[in-house]
């Protein structure tokens, strides 16, 4: 195992102890089944996991960028899926500690053990904020939007989900059109979700975009985009 700094070591020690004391095998089996048997679970429901996080994070100093990276990668190396959920929450909490090159670590997390649960948490609540803090990363989103990896494509489409009036509509609509013919469910769903969410800010723009491009968008994307219009 690579060297882990003091803050990361203490945090992970607390986390390991918390999981050891709180495991629920019966609930873990149900959670694993819900996620199509892709990941083992410790069996902690979200409220219990959040309560554990508060105890684990209590009294710790603010992380450096290297601390942040170590915590995330160490959590990703552990088997139980809840470790990855903790990493997503920790990254969101300390996004201002991350520098622009941290996007490479985010890419590793997105493409390692990928599924919608961690990818969406990273895309909408970490990568999106990281891009806002470091506008040069817009170019990375442009690159990810045409990647062969569907999870990077989904991240690019969703990263502006909570931007509201600050949304770059040219990029949002451009990413959606660029991947309109994508065959994967998760990309098509992301297109619809991103458009539906932006419709809260500018329903007219979304309505006009969908009307003009309905023949290019998948039925799933159109259905999701117009659900509340």
pLDDT tens readout for residues 19-78: 999 999 999 999 999 999 999 999 999 999 999 999 999 999 999 999 999 999 999 999
In this prediction, residue 163 carries a pLDDT of: 98
Place of tokens 């489409």: 157
In this prediction, residue 5 carries a pLDDT of: 58
Nearest to 152 by CA among 140, 160, 144: 144
Helices (H), 23-115: 25-34, 46-57, 65-77, 81-93, 103-111
Vertex 99, ends 56 and 87: CA angle to 5°?
Answer: 30
pTM for this model (two decimals): 0.95
What CATH number labels 135-229? 1.25.10.90
- pLDDT above 70 covers what percent of the chain? 98
Indicate the DSSP class of residue 80: S
CA 74 remoteness from chain centre: 17
Domain ranges of the chain: 1-97, 135-229
Burial 47-68 (b: 16+ CB within 10 A, else e): ebbeebbeebbeeeeebeeebb
In this prediction, residue 161 carries a pLDDT of: 98
One fold for both 1-97 and 135-229? Answer: yes
Nearest to 180 by CA among 217, 143, 142: 217
* Rounded distance between C-alpha atoms, residue 148 and residue 171, angstroms: 18
State the fold for domain 1-97: 1.25.10
In this prediction, residue 112 carries a pLDDT of: 98
Q: Could you tell me which residues come within 8 angstroms of residue 157 by beta carbon, excluding any fewer than 6 positions away?
A: 145, 172, 175, 176, 179, 187, 190, 191, 194
In this prediction, residue 1 carries a pLDDT of: 42
Nearest to 142 by CA among 132, 133, 155: 155
Segments of the chain scoring below 50 in pLDDT: 1-3
């Amino acid at each position: 195992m690579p060297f882990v700094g003091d803050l990361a070591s203490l945090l992970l020690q607390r986390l390991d102890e918390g999981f050891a004391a709180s495991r629920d095998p019966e609930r873990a089996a149900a959670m694993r089944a819900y996620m199509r048997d892709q990941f083992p679970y410790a069996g902690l429901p979200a409220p219990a996991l959040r309560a554990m996080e508060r105890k684990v994070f209590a009294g710790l100093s603010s992380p450096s960028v290297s601390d942040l990276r170590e915590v995330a990668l160490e959590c990703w190396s552990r088997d139980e899926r809840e470790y990855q959920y903790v990493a997503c929450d920790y990254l969101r909490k300390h996004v201002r500690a991350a520098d622009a090159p941290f996007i490479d670590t985010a890419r590793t997390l997105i493409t390692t053990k990928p599924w919608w649960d961690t990818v969406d948490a990273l895309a909408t609540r970490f990568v999106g904020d990281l891009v806002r803090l470091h506008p040069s990363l817009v170019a990375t989103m442009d690159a990810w939007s045409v990647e062969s990896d569907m999870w990077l494509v989904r991240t690019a489409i969703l990263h502006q989900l909570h931007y509201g009036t600050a949304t770059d509509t040219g990029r949002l609509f451009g990413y959606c059109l660029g991947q309109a013919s994508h065959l994967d469910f998760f990309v098509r769903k992301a297109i619809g979700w991103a458009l539906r969410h932006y419709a809260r800010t500018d329903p007219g723009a979304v309505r006009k975009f969908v009307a003009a491009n309905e023949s290019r968008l998948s039925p799933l994307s159109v259905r999701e985009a117009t659900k509340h219009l």
